A and B are shown apart, each in its own frame.
Chain A
Amino acid sequence: MTIFVIGYYALLLAASCAAAYFNKRAAFMLLFSLTLVSFVVGIIGGAGALYAIAVAAGILAMMAMVSYAFREFLILLAGKETAKELRTAPLTAAFGMFIIFTYVIAGIFAPWIAPHGEAEVISSAFAPADANMLLGADQLGRDMFSRLVYGTRNSVGLSLTATIGAFVLGAGAGLLAATKGGWFDQLMGRLADVIMSIPSLIFALLMLSIFGPSMPVIIVAVAIIYAPRVFRLTRAVAGNVVVMDYIEAAKLRGEGTGYLIRREILPNSTAPLIAEFGLEFCFVFLLVAGLSFLGLGIQPPTADWGSMVRENATLISFGEITPLIPAAAIALLTVAVNFVVDWMLHRSSGLKE
């Protein structure tokens, strides 16, 4: 019995008793079931397993605290209306916003944050982590951490541009189709069907092998692939708005299509569109990473998370986690974005707990 084990159980039991005393049902159930599980785990796995549980709980608690503090921080910074909305955000959404915020900072200030250059070879291939290189070196001896930071810029920047492109194309066409109706609606609808009928990865590979793998081609190809989904959603949402009396009133006033879309329809369709933006961003991100992994995305030596996974893939057979780090970065961002999107969907759909 080490002091750690005694302290571990003492803390858990004290917390459970306190929760029970103050009638906090949910907290008590959580703490006490954790205590019971710990008895079993402690017997089977020994102090090491308990240590792992303690670390995991610690990390979770840290994340929760960061999220909570970050939400309060945003509430203080934001205006009155936004602050009211932010107060409704669950901790998961705050966590998502914190991660996105971190990524944005890393992307914008990459040259200042990264200790080494993007393509700078500073040590031997696959060098282990040391004080100089936080995450070790990649297959050419470049600093993994620096490349990860630069990769934020490229991967996130590319996906963001492509998603915005898809939204401009899709939402624009969807709003016009809903407003105009008639043959234009039909034409756009069938065009979307045609694009959707081609498997997305095949289409991207085709475009990239015809026009060569450059940034603009990737952006345009991905935007075209994802535009039809946005088109369908926008048309459906706007379709419910255009039948309202206030649209009729605006039409009778003699307003043009531009005003109708901008001032009357768009404000009533933003909530689902923003939620969709978050989801599409994840899909686009994964597609771009997939393309990079296949070697058709962003070209070396530009750092990109997808290609970083591929380049270091051999290391996985030696039990090193280096290739998983960029993959984890992708996963973390996707999860974070989805946390935020969930919250927004929740709000726009008016669902309750």
Chain B
Amino acid sequence: MSPKKEVLLKIRNLKIQGYSDETWVDIIKGVDLTLHRGEVMGLIGESGAGKSTIGAAAMGYARDGTRITEDSSIEFDGIELTTSTESERRALRGSRIAYVAQSAAASFNPAHKIIDQHTEAPLHYRLRKRTEAQEDAMDLYERLRLPNPHEIGFRYPHQVSGGQLQRAMTAMAMSCRPDLIIFDEPTTALDVTTQIEVLAAIRDIVDQFNTAALYITHDLAVVAQMADTIKVLLKGNEVEEAPTEEMLSNPKEDYTKSLWAVRSFESPQRTREGRECLISVKNVDAAYASGPKILDDVSFDIYEGMTVAVVGESGSGKSTTARVITGLLPPQKGEVLFKGEPFPPDYRNRNKEQLRQCQMIYQMADTALNPKVRISEIIGRPAQFYSGLKGTALKARVDELLDLIELEPSKYYNRFPPELSGGQKQRIGIARALAAEPSFIVCDEVTSALDQLVAEGILRLLDRLQNELNLAYMFITHDLATVRSIADEVIVMQHGKVVEQGPKDQMFKPPHHPYTDLLLSSVPEMDPNWLTTLLEERGVDNIGDAAAANIDPDDAKIAP
């Protein structure tokens, strides 16, 4: 942060209130922020910390049901946004301040071609003629390393992959050459391999045009790559702000230190010795309806009391494998054995005992718990259904389960899921799975929707339960940090094939399969120079999807 630079955005004493329970409650409690031209500031914090709210406020925008209090000041390039009129503010948005949303797929209008949406802003502000704007769009696509830059804009959003769409969205934000871009978790929904491409592209383009940016994320490693300064937020308050290097090497506040230390949890690795084989997937092929083959000759074993992590990018067949095991998708070929006995391929043909053994915990706790059913029934129903518990015995069992997941029974017994936080909901999801007294649980990306601190709590809980109840987990994830902390064995999948499998300690040591190597190298690290180093090592064209496309699942292992 050089003091010579011109101040672009100056937020002073920002207070934003939200209306709930018939009173105005402070969401942002007086945050100051100064952003200079060409500077990238990372805003990090847990969900509910007010990151996105501040991002929106930087455009002078308060979401429905919230308001910016009168004593706040938001000054963008000398224009006071809190007192300016709505039309003045609108004139800034899109032309001088742009916004890149978390889900590009949801933010593009599916009914228009990408380039038409791209050129909308320049045409609206009469900055360029249509053909010029289109040429400029293609130029931006090329700079962002999108494949076929001259053609890709004429596709509709659904014809483009997620990572490409996110880059197209960044290009769109750039279309008027704004002074400030607000990135609201642009890579959170992407795979590690795709994320790295988007990160590299965003960083380059922000550098090239000397654009200032607010980069909102909850991933510390990502923000370390992108930002010049980092501001840590907690529940609407600023915890601390410092240049990236200083923040990483020498955080001052305890809360920041705890964020930094999140990835420290690691459960001791278990081995197969003395354990029985619980689930055995044998040569499974599977496809949806008459579509292409999703799983191709997948085989692996899961031993009792052990955690098997299945990693791979989206579309690699991880979740489909889980659906085959649970019986939601009967395989075309091959079979699933449970303790040596074949499991009926369709869950409808399984008996209660077989259904009980195999439970599932879902990624989105919001959709996995019925919002209109009380916690007591959500947890109590499996106990009642499988074990026939009733009355006080059932209540005692629910209390026991709530104790097990570290939630106070008397407090949560009669609540409804929407009254709980994300982490608590996920715990209820775990309790529901445990209520059936299973021996095997499929955990489908259980921590990917949670903040790091909360996710760590869930991982610790799962690990503790595993030791106490001798559970086997099939842990589906794309986050290798999670794998490192909880897995005993790892299976790497690509294009529906198992490319590599083995105990964790071997998997994290070379030689790797090239795809495993790509996955491992794509995980952002805390080192702020990580991305630069990686790009130098691998070259810009050998990262992300482009690199993955060159790898065949049958390739031989390589040592780096």
Binding site for B on A (CB under 8 A): 244-246, 248-249, 251-255, 263-264, 267-268, 352
How far in angstroms is the closest Cβ of chain B from A259? Answer: 9
Which of A253, A264, A352 contacts B370 (CB under 8 A)?
A264
Return the CB mask of B480-498 against A: 1 if under 8 Å, else 0: 0000000000000000000
Choose from A245, A251, A253, A352 the contact partner of B362 (Cβ within 8 Å): A245
Contacts of B436 in A (CB 8 A): 253
- Chain A nearest CB: distance from B180 CB in Å? 30
A244 to B65, CA, bound (A): 28
B205 an interface residue at 8 Å Cβ cutoff? no
Beyond known contacts A253-B355, A255-B385: 12 more, CB 8 A cutoff = A244-B368, A244-B370, A245-B362, A251-B347, A252-B328, A252-B360, A253-B382, A253-B386, A263-B377, A267-B372, A268-B371, A352-B65
Given A249-B362, A253-B382, A253-B385, A264-B373 contact (CB < 8 Å): yes
Q: Answer yes or no: B221 CB below 8 A from chain A CBs.
A: no
A264 vs B327: C-alpha distance when bound (angstroms): 21
| Interface residues in B347-403 (C-beta closer than 8 Å to A) | 347, 350, 352, 355, 359-360, 362, 364, 367-373, 377, 381-382, 385-386
- Known contacts A249-B368, A254-B350, A255-B385; A267 and B360 CB within 8 A of each other: no
Give Cα A249 to B154, complex, Å.
41
Q: How far is the CB of B17 from chain A (nearest CB, A)?
A: 16
A-B contact pairs, 24 of them (CB 8 A): A244-B367, A244-B368, A244-B370, A245-B367, A246-B367, A246-B368, A246-B369, A248-B328, A249-B362, A249-B368, A251-B347, A252-B359, A252-B360, A253-B381, A253-B386, A254-B352, A254-B385, A263-B373, A263-B377, A263-B381, A267-B370, A268-B370, A268-B372, A352-B64
Q: Is B326 positioned at the interface, with any CB of A under 8 Å from its CB? A: yes
B218 part of interface (Cβ distance < 8 Å): no
Shortest C-beta distance, B415 to chain A (Å), equals 13
Residues in B neighbouring A245, C-beta threshold 8 A: 362, 364, 367-368
User: CB-CB contacts of B419-440 with A at 8 A, as 1s and 0s?
Assistant: 0000000000000100010000
* Closest A residue by C-beta to B385: A253
Q: Are B373 and A267 in contact (CB under 8 A)?
A: yes
For B377, what are the chain A residues with a Cβ–Cβ distance below 8 Å? 263
**A158 → chain B closest CB, angstroms:** 33
In the complex, what residues of A have CB within 8 A of residue B385's CB?
253-255
Closest partner residue, chain A, to B442 (CB atom) = A252
Chain B residues with CB under 8 Å of A352's CB are 64-65
Write the nearest CB–CB distance from A147 to chain B, whole angstroms. 44
- Chain B residues within 8 Å of A252, by CB: 326-328, 347, 355, 359-360
Q: Once the chains are docked, how many angstroms separate the CA of A267 from the CA of B377?
A: 13
Interface centre among A251, A253, A352 (most CB of B within 10 A): A253
A248 to chain B, nearest CB (A): 7
Counting contact residues on chain B (CB < 8 A from A), the size range is: 20 to 34
Tell me the bound Cα distance from A248 to B350 in angstroms.
15
Interface contact B64-A254, CB-CB below 8 Å? no
B387 to chain A minimum Cβ distance, whole angstroms, is 12
Which residues from A are CB-within-8-Å of B355?
252-254
A261 nearest CB across to chain B (Å): 13
When distances are taken between beta carbons in the complex, the residues of chain A under 8 Å from B360 are 249, 252
A203 vs chain B, min Cβ distance (A): 36
- A246–B65 Cα distance when bound, in Å, is 30
Complex: how many Å from CA A255 to CA B384?
12
Question: Distance in Å from the Cβ of A178 to the closest Cβ of chain B?
Answer: 15
Bound CA span A252–B386, Å: 12
Find chain B residues with CB under 8 A from A249 CB: 360, 362, 368, 432
- Chain A hits for B328, CB < 8 A: 248, 252
Among all A-B residue pairs, the 4 with the closest Cβ atoms: A267-B372, A245-B368, A246-B370, A245-B367
Q: In the assembly, what is the distance between CA of A263 and CA of B327, in Å?
A: 23
Chain B's closest residue to A241 (CB) is B370
Interface string of B42-81 (1 = CB under 8 A from A): 0000000000000000000000110000000000000000
Given the complex of chains A and B, what is the CA–CA distance between A245 and B328 in angstroms? 12
Minimal beta-carbon separation of B125 from chain A (angstroms): 31
Report B-chain residues with C-beta under 8 Å of the C-beta of A246: 367-370
What residues on B are CB-neighbors of A253 within 8 Å?
A: 355, 381-382, 385-386, 436
Residues of chain B with a CB closer than 8 A to A268's CB: 370-372
Most chain A CB within a 10 A radius of its CB, from B328, B369, B372: B372
Please name all residues of chain B whose beta carbon is closer than 8 Å to the beta carbon of A251 when the two chains form the complex.
347
Query: Smallest distance from the beta carbon of B499 to chain A beta carbons, Å?
Result: 28
Assembled-state Cα–Cα distance A352/B436 (Å)? 42
CA distance A316 to B476 in the complex (A): 77
How far, in angstroms, from A252 to B368 measured CA to CA in the complex? 12
- Chain A residues positioned under 8 Å from B350 (CB to CB): 254
CA distance A252 to B372 in the complex (A): 19
Nearest opposing residue in chain A for B351, CB measure: A254
Residue in B closest to A243 when the chains form the complex, CB atoms: B367
Shortest distance between the CB of B327 and any CB in chain A (Å): 7
Contacting residues, chain A, for B359 (C-beta < 8 A): 252
A139 CB → nearest B CB, Å: 53
Chain A residues contacting B362 (CB-CB under 8 Å) are 245, 249
**What CA separation (Å) do A245 and B446 show in the bound complex?**
13
Q: Which residue of B lies closest to A268 (CB)?
A: B372
Nearest chain B CB to A184's CB is how many angstroms away? 16
Bound complex: CA of A255 vs CA of B328, how far in Å?
14
Assembled-state Cα–Cα distance A284/B364 (Å): 42
Chain A residues with CB under 8 A of B367? 244-246
CA distance A255 to B364 in the complex (A): 21
Contacts of B370 in A (CB 8 A): 244, 246, 263-264, 267-268
Chain B residues contacting A254 (CB-CB under 8 Å) are 347, 350, 352, 355, 385
In Å, the complex CA distance between A244 and B350 comes to 22
Q: Beta-carbon contacts of B322-338 to A below 8 Å, as 1s and 0s?
A: 00001110000000000
Nearest A-chain residue to B386, judged by Cβ:
A253
A263-B372 Cα distance, complex, nearest whole Å: 9
Nearest-CB distance from A101 to chain B (Å)? 27
**A255: B residues at CB distance < 8 A:** 385
Which single residue of chain A is at the shortest CB-CB distance from B352? A254
CA of A244 to CA of B366, assembled, Å: 9
Which chain B residue shows the least CB distance to A248? Answer: B328
Report chain B residues within 8 Å CB of A248: 328
> Chain B nearest CB: distance from A182 CB in Å?
13
Closest to B377 in A: A263
Give A288 Cβ to nearest chain B Cβ, in Å: 33
Give Cα A67 to B368, complex, Å.
Answer: 41
